[in-house]
Structure 1
Amino acid sequence: MSEITKQQVSDFLTENPDFLLQNPDLLAQLELQQHAQGATSLVHIQQRQLREHNTKLKAQIEQLIEQATENESIYRLFSQCHRQLWTNYDFKTLAANLRNIICTSPAISECHLVRYETKYDALIEHRLEETGTYLGRVSQQERDLLFAEQTQSTALYLIGNNQHPVAILAFGSLDANHFEPAKDSFFVLEFVRSLQLRLLELQLELA
């Protein structure tokens, strides 16, 4: 195969002016010289790509910092809640103290720890039957069971299981997007597991 000449490359690019735009990976690898008279159009394209890339990186870094800050806040909040599990010896006091702690978060307007009652059966069946956890919006009828009218998004956690429910831990937010399915719930779920053990222990102590 004969060697491709500069003229052939030039002719090809002239006939296919969008070739480099359609192959950005190739364009990014090119080392273009900037003449004293000014930059070539390809240099401008590379500069634009670099600016766009830097903008995306900056946005990703800001998002990571924001997420890390939120995670630290959640960790501190539920560390306080964990301590309450072993300093309260009745359900009512524990529920009140958890509410006081959780509601210090600006994003959470309500926190309820309620004992299981049959009036919650439909809510459990509809929202908590599969995983015992639900984050998102609820119907007006479901909201009226636990939350104020202005609550926009909720987080529900079943204590116990479908066959033997013990309680429901519920958080409410005025922000419609605060509680949504993709939200990281690691610290909350760890607390829910500990809460379940503690409530079962309290039941045995009262038996």
Structure 2
Amino acid sequence: MSNEAKKQAQTTVVDDTLIAAYLDENPDFFERHPQLLQRLTVRHQTKGAVSLVERQQQMLRQRVQQLEEEITELMVTARRNEELFRYFSELYVKLLQSESLSDVMESLQETFSTQLQMPALSMKFFDSPLELEEQFTFAADTHKQLLSKRFQDETIYLGRLTANEQKLLFPDETIASVVLLLLGEKGELGMLAIGNHDAGHFEPAMDTLFVKQLQVLLSQVLPPLLHHHASA
């Protein structure tokens, strides 16, 4: 067999994949052949040719830096979650102590507008026979249109609204993203809307643990307050 034929045969039999697999299965290969380390070089985009050991050290440093950044990010997230837990826990206590709808709104405003920097908050009730303040009223035809679009099998919506929907819920604010919570055992009582100027703040994939807890609590707290309001 000619030298050219031998080279072609070797190329066919041994390729990068087989070499990489062999080295992966034999991590001590270079320990058994240390002389190869002296001859091997790895092309670096900025430094030119560097030794394999130098390249390994550099990759390890990069990996350590990446892990440090990931740990820092996790710590920031943990602190943020702890902060959110404290804010919502304080809110739950205030809601349980509320004696009127005004108390409820004041507590919600303090938590979302002041502590969480959410610029817009709206709570409205559906088909209520009560003589409520204008801020709590919600025309039946308009809320049904909103429900048919934003709520199907869910009682929570996160995302964006149309311009008309924004005017309906937040007439004095330009809101880019919202979380909408239906209130009541079956969502029949009303709706709480929380808005943010950032279009990416509320997204469908977000975790809803805190707002679900708030939804359940409000659905229990509000009916007695509405009954008290009606009999006052």
When normalised by structure 2's length, the TM-score is 0.68
* 2:104 corresponds to 1:99: no
Equivalence for 1:157: 181
Q: Show the counterpart of 1:5.
A: none
1:73 aligns with 2:83: yes
User: Is 1:123–2:146 an aligned residue pair?
Assistant: yes
Q: Name the aligned partner's letter for residue 158 of structure 1.
A: L
Task: Give the Å deviation of 1:124.
Answer: 1.8
Distance 1:29 1:188, change over 3 A: farther
Distance 1:196 1:76 in 2: 21
Q: CA RMSD in A?
A: 3.3
CA distance in 1, matches of 2:207, 2:76: 13
- CA shift for structure 1 position 155: 0.8
2:121 aligned residue (111, 114, 136): 111
Structure 2 vs 1, CA of residues 53 and 28 (structure 1 numbering), >3 Å: closer, same or farther?
farther
Q: Displacement of 1:161 after TM fit?
A: 5.4
The CA deviation at 1:143 is 0.9
Larger Cα Rg: Structure 1 or Structure 2?
2
Counterpart position of 1:7: none
Q: Report the 3-state secondary structure (helix = DSSP H, G, I; strand = E; otherwise coil) of the residue aligned with 1:104.
A: helix
Please, which runs of 5 or more residues in structure 1 have no aligned partner? 1-10
Q: Secondary structure at the match of 1:103?
A: helix
| 1:72, distance to aligned residue in structure 2 (A) | 1.4
Matching of residues 134-153 of structure 1 within 5 Å: 134-147=157-170, 148-153=172-177
CA contact (8 A) 1:134 1:157 kept: yes
Q: 1 CA distance for matches of 2:210 and 2:23?
A: 41
- Cα distance in 1 for partners of 2:22, 2:86 equals 45
Question: Using the alignment, how far apart are the partners of 1:177 and 1:24 within structure 2?
Answer: 47
Q: Decide whether the 8 Å contact of 2:121 with 2:195 is kept in 1.
A: yes
Q: Does 1:170 align with 2:193?
A: yes
Q: How many residues align?
A: 194
Give 1:101 shift. Answer: 2.2
- Equivalent AA in structure 1 for residue 212 of structure 2: L
Distance 1:52 1:28 in 2: 24
The residue aligned with 2:98 is 88
Contact 1:77 1:101 in 2 (8 A): yes
Alpha-carbon contact 1:133-1:155 (below 8 Å) kept? yes
The structural deviation recorded for 1:174 is 1.5
Deviations 1:101-148 (A, max 9, x none): 211235421222222331322112211232110111111111111124
% identity of equivalent residues: 26
Task: Give the superposition deviation at 1:52.
Answer: 4.8
- Cα distance in 1 between the residues matched to 2:90 and 2:22: 51
**Distance (Å, rounded) in 2 between the aligned partners of 1:114 and 1:25:** 66
Relative to structure 1, the CA distance from residue 176 to residue 130 in structure 2 (aligned partners, 3 Å threshold; closer, same or farther) is same
Q: Name the CA distance, whole Å, in 2 between partners of 1:45 and 1:15.
A: 25
Instruction: Confirm or deny: 8 A CA contact 2:176 2:196 kept in the other structure.
Output: yes
Counterparts of 1:32 and 1:105 in 2: how far apart (Å)? 58
Greater RCO between the two (CA within 8 Å, min separation 6)?
A: 1
